[in-house]
Structure 1
């Protein structure tokens, strides 16, 4: 599934639904002559679903409550199979039942009234299963989330320079909307945690264990910062990067209150679904704006992006820093634990690589000869972008015009004007960060610590 991008979950869900449909079809065919076998097949499938729910990673929901939707579905499926067989005149003994005199007049033995009643019952059971899966875990709806009033931050984000955005149609907006912000995680169903029941446990190698609820966090000193996030799975020129304005509590202040003990070099954070992430302790205490975020672009965090609380740490790929739906924060040592992604072959520490992308023109765009413009974004979080250059075909590297810098943790837009001549041309971009490191041309896949290489696009001038 790793090569499917954000299509992995729809494909997985579609595959599961298709498999269940085939299973149901087979069970129905078997049920014509062996009703008890068909019912047994249905029960086995339901039990497997219950076991999967009971053994999931979630820490948010009591296991008993978590499996209740499965029991509802199992009951509905079993009763449904039984009623379907009954509508066709079959009993559990595997042969048509004796028909009543009124039924004998019907050549096919079809009872329309029984069929409608069965259909209605199955529909109601299906709706009941959906409602159970949504209501029983005790989550909240979006109206409740939006009704939360975030306190005014004690430290506001810096005023953005007037020239922070490139004035070129098609360039990524400087601030990515919540709806457009990329989402990459391991979940099929987004948790909808009730903030009234949420708690963050801070423990491990600390002098004082802390337990913070949502009201505790909102009552602390909040800061507001523009920070660009990048997913380690982003390919060269890919879409898994976005910039947002976050509101949250500085993680360093929580750690100071807890009192970090000597020898600690990492934090293991755990999501409500049981996912674990390992973060270098230094990245949380070196002065960068690492926060427990509660707000995104002027509103409480969306469910997709970690409501009610998530981590945001500039300069590190998300799989080692951006724990969403966080509930546990353990100060520890890297040698004493392993995390979900590092167990799967990804690097333990993952600073974001210097990268750039061409947004305009799109690949194989057709433009007219004469003055032309290319534009895009570049990022090197916690180092900043010092220069962007563009190469036309095999020509020399030419410096692009940078938009005003909003901060070293924020991406930077650029524009490049050139004289387009007839024919096909390849445009290639590279960035240089403020440490002097030039973006490498060496190609590397995302695993184990982020992709590398130069983004290019082909344009047709005619």
Structure 2
């Protein structure tokens, strides 16, 4: 049998791709957000240990999900190729291999939040396609080998290599076409974006920048962060595309009675608005995983009070439409701070990436315990009864924001002129506030900075200071003091388990 073994390898890849594309198409036709491949990818993210997840975020930043998908593509290509090659002599191993892949996909689909039986249809469709495609491709390959073994291709002209290449082209073409059709069928983003453009919520206003919040030093990050520049951290491979008419929030658990709110129910309530700074627990000292925006929404405390809270409850387990969870301290929602179900960001409806149509905002807490995008479920409970996504990976339960400050000007490694150096940046401790900021040049005495104004303690504050620098290399560090008298610690710790600490410092040269 002289048939090149490479064709068996490639037959497995072609058949594997066809099954994935078919499952993707069926998922799109059924309006299922997660095709089996996406469900597996998000399952991998869920099962990834905390230190590995932190390493991936630190290493790949916002490209971590792309790296995961590329890795899965490479691994699946290798697996499909091996299954194709093994099928030359042990067809039953190939069938069993595809069956195992289907079972893994099925488990990932069943494990997703909001699972229904319909969600398994794409898995069955993909597996059936694998079996049919495998039979067609291997059938042509075996006929080709039999013809070659006879050394007389003319004795069986219909079973020549040409038949295999036609079958391979057909399988490849159908796979590509199915993938394209699946993308079109499952594309609900256009409808959601149209809903966003047409959405009007009475009481939600466009922000006017408060007077005096900027220090007017070139290079300082804007006090108001645009939606495009606001940091994005989530675990969704595909962002949920939820139309307002389809959104519901279920509130249950340790309450007197369950509540289910539609979007119309929510916007009929009184709208609250506020400037609030959010930051991620993964933000390293001096990092940029932080932003400040004008949020418009509905106070969450009033909704929970309406449900009737069990006095022994101390947590709210929030669940996103994509299944991500966070455990929020109930006290932080009910203590008077402006915790809200946010609808608007900077005077515009939330973008899909930032949680449209509804997300949660709780000032003073890191996002991993509070900022649930695409929120659809809230269970009033206790911390000892839940295991939220990030806390299950080693992060702490409470997640209060830590006192922090950052130097924006000058840049690390900058060349500056000798004499008076203007330095500037930001400091924050949401829901407590900043009393003072100081800088130190080359380990010397601390010099007080001038603070800009802020509309509340829930936002960051810009600062400005001047120091005299001589010729040579220098280092500059910054620290803040809270309104409760806490002085920012210089002890350096990493982001695990509850946020990084230490003084931000930079180096520069003067000449």
Same fold (TM over 0.5): yes
1:229 aligns with 2:278: yes
Q: Which residue of 59, 64, 67 corresponds with 1:8?
A: 64
Kindly indicate which of the two structures has a greater share of residues assigned to helix.
2
In the alignment, what sits opposite 2:364? Answer: 315
Superimposed CA distance per residue, residues 155-208 of structure 1 (whole angstroms, 9 cap, x where no aligned partner)? x68853332123223221212221221122233222222322221122333334
In the alignment, what sits opposite 1:303? Answer: 352
Q: Report deviation, 1:227.
A: 0.5
Secondary structure at the aligned position of 2:509 is classed as: strand
Give, in whole Å, the separation in 2 of the partners of 1:12 and 1:116.
Answer: 29
Q: Which residue of 115, 120, 123 corresponds with 1:67?
A: 120
Secondary structure at the aligned position of 2:246 is classed as: coil
Give, in whole Å, the separation in 2 of the partners of 1:409 and 1:313.
Answer: 10
In the alignment, what sits opposite 1:144? Answer: 194
1:119 aligns with 2:119: no
Q: Which residue of 69, 74, 84 corresponds with 1:18?
A: 74
Query: How many aligned positions are there?
Result: 453
Give the alignment of 1:80-119 within 5 angstroms.
80-85=133-138, 89-91=141-143, 95=146, 101=154, 114-119=167-172
In the alignment, what sits opposite 1:403? Answer: 452
Secondary structure at the aligned position of 1:372 is classed as: strand
Superimposed CA distance per residue, residues 85-115 of structure 1 (whole angstroms, 9 cap, x where no aligned partner)? 466x435x98558886498699975876555
Give the alignment of 1:178-189 within 5 angstroms.
178-189=227-238
In the alignment, what sits opposite 2:249? Answer: 200
Q: Which moved more, 1:184-193 or 1:439-448?
A: 184-193
1:376 aligns with 2:436: no
With normalisation by structure 1, the TM-score equals 0.87
In the alignment, what sits opposite 2:330? Answer: 281
In the alignment, what sits opposite 2:378? Answer: 329
| Residues 1:78 and 1:257: Cα distance change in structure 2 (over 3 Å) | same
Superimposed CA distance per residue, residues 356-387 of structure 1 (whole angstroms, 9 cap, x where no aligned partner)? 11122222222333443322211110011121
Give the alignment of 1:21-40 within 5 angstroms.
21-34=77-90, 37-40=93-96
| Residues 1:102 and 1:363: Cα distance change in structure 2 (over 3 Å) | farther
Secondary structure at the aligned position of 2:305 is classed as: helix
For the 8 Å contact 1:226–1:410, the answer to whether it is kept is yes
Give, in whole Å, the separation in 1 of the partners of 2:420 and 2:132.
Answer: 71
In the alignment, what sits opposite 1:348? Answer: 397
| Residues 1:75 and 1:402: Cα distance change in structure 2 (over 3 Å) | farther
Point out where structure 2 has 5 or more consecutive residues left out of the alignment. Answer: 1-51
Secondary structure at the aligned position of 1:50 is classed as: helix
Q: Report deviation, 1:80.
A: 4.7
Give, in whole Å, the separation in 1 of the partners of 2:133 and 2:468.
Answer: 69
In the alignment, what sits opposite 2:41? Answer: none
Secondary structure at the aligned position of 2:193 is classed as: helix
Q: Report deviation, 1:244.
A: 1.3
In the alignment, what sits opposite 2:415? Answer: 366
Q: Report deviation, 1:18.
A: 1.3
Superimposed CA distance per residue, residues 396-453 of structure 1 (whole angstroms, 9 cap, x where no aligned partner)? 1111222222321011112223333222211111111111111111112222221111
With normalisation by structure 2, the TM-score equals 0.80
For the 8 Å contact 2:147–2:160, the answer to whether it is kept is no
| Residues 1:100 and 1:150: Cα distance change in structure 2 (over 3 Å) | farther
| Residues 1:51 and 1:128: Cα distance change in structure 2 (over 3 Å) | farther
For the 8 Å contact 2:252–2:379, the answer to whether it is kept is yes
